[in-house]
Amino acid sequence: MAVPALANEPLLRVEDLRVEFPTRRGRLTAVDGVSFEIAPGEVLGVVGESGAGKSLTGAAIIGLLEPPGKITGGQIVLEGQRIDNLPYHEMRQIRGRRIGAIFQDPLTSLNPLYTIGRQLTETIRTHLPLGETAARERALALLRAVGIPAAEQRIDQYPHQFSGGMRQRVVIALALAAEPRLIIADEPTTALDVSIQAQIIALLKRLCREHGTAVMLVTHDMGVIAETADRVAVMYAGRIVEIGPVREVVRHARHPYTVGLMGSIPLVGRDVARLAQIDGAMPRLNAIPLGCAFNPRCQKAFDICRTQRPDLRRVGPVAVACHLFDMPPADAGRPP
């Protein structure tokens, strides 16, 4: 089912995306029928446990799937242009110019042998028609924009001379170097302390507000999602199980998995003896159960959950993939 349309024209549209990994024992489906849209200036948070398919979805959008993984179904449309079937050299032009990327570990994104300035100016000149002097001026402006102090001196320093938070700011500057319309941010704050996390979050929100940049924010941290995102998509076993406005999903979760995620977060000012937990673990790709993939861990599962996979359906302001919302109220809470 298509996810509810946004009020304005989406900048990114992902339709029924499927990512598979061929093995000697058959194909493993890691992303299974994922659909969503992101509007200009919007932050879509994508949350779920490790192995849910969050990062693979982002990698598929930016064209950086690790072999042998490949897109085997659906389509990805950026500003009206389908990009999932483009040749490598055309996708390389889009990557960096129209889509930027921020990864979890800034050391994997920065070359330790080159100065920060060289890496920024080379990226800028690759994608924009600027000379060396103009590119350096833009690099300095980017460093100032992301909050690097004394940018004139630091631009000629190497990555190891920066702290973790400062390196992540440089990575954000690199992602913004060619003024992309979309940024894929994969766990951009995980390796940072809480105070630096807050600064990076504020920076991302400001960029969206001032430049109309769309952001797909991949994380497992619901606190970051609640603070940063406009909407949130909850993923489980390669599928979206709930998607909607972040305030609605956080405060009034519908899907049992989302309810479990919300219940596992400690709340300031509320004294509880024990946090809720979701028993069990995410299924392996070669052992995804029939029906709803969450049914072995779900306390509300009933017969149909074990045989038929639920599709996303509209429930108020959100979309939920759960059979509880297919049943009449008298039957919905019926035990197995």
pLDDT value of residue 152 = 95
Q: What is the pTM of this model?
A: 0.88
Domains in the chain, please, with CATH? 12-98+180-332 (3.40.50.300)
For 161, phi then psi, to 5°, come to -85, 5
pLDDT, greater one: 91 or 276: 91
pLDDT value of residue 196 = 76
Could you report the per-residue pLDDT of 206-251, keeping only the tens digit for each?
877 887 889 999 988 888 888 889 999 999 999 999 999 999 999 9
pLDDT over 70, % of the chain:
90
Question: For residue 87, what pLDDT band results from cuts at 50, 70 and 90?
Answer: very high
For 319, phi then psi, to 5°, come to -120, 135
pLDDT value of residue 330 = 44
> Would you say residue 274 has pLDDT above 80?
no
Across residues 88-107, what is the average pLDDT? Answer: 87
Torsion of CA 328, 332, 333, 336, to 10 degrees: 130
Helix residue ranges per DSSP H, the chain: 54-62, 88-97, 106-109, 116-127, 132-145, 151-154, 164-176, 194-211, 222-228, 246-251, 256-263, 329-332
> Would you say residue 198 has pLDDT above 50?
yes
For 316, phi then psi, to 5°, come to 65, -130
Question: For residue 109, what pLDDT band results from cuts at 50, 70 and 90?
Answer: confident
Question: Tokens representing 116?
Answer: 């920060």
Neighbour order of strands in the sheet with 12-23 = 26-38, 12-23, 70-78, 81-82
> Would you say residue 271 has pLDDT above 70?
no
Distance CA 249, CA 80 (A): 29
Question: Tokens representing 153?
Answer: 């001196």
> Would you say residue 144 has pLDDT above 50?
yes
> Would you say residue 7 has pLDDT above 80?
no
Question: Tokens representing 29?
Answer: 């489906």
Rounded to the nearest angstrom, the gap between the alpha carbon of residue 315 and the centroid of all alpha carbons in its chain is 23
pLDDT value of residue 266 = 65
pLDDT value of residue 22 = 94
The secondary structure of residue 5, as a DSSP letter, is P
283: Cα within 13 Å, side-chain hemisphere: 22
pLDDT value of residue 129 = 93
pLDDT over 90, % of the chain:
64
Question: For residue 270, what pLDDT band results from cuts at 50, 70 and 90?
Answer: low
> Would you say residue 153 has pLDDT above 70?
yes
Cα dist. 46→16, 35, 128, 241 in Å?
A: 16, 12, 31, 11
Question: For residue 11, what pLDDT band results from cuts at 50, 70 and 90?
Answer: very high
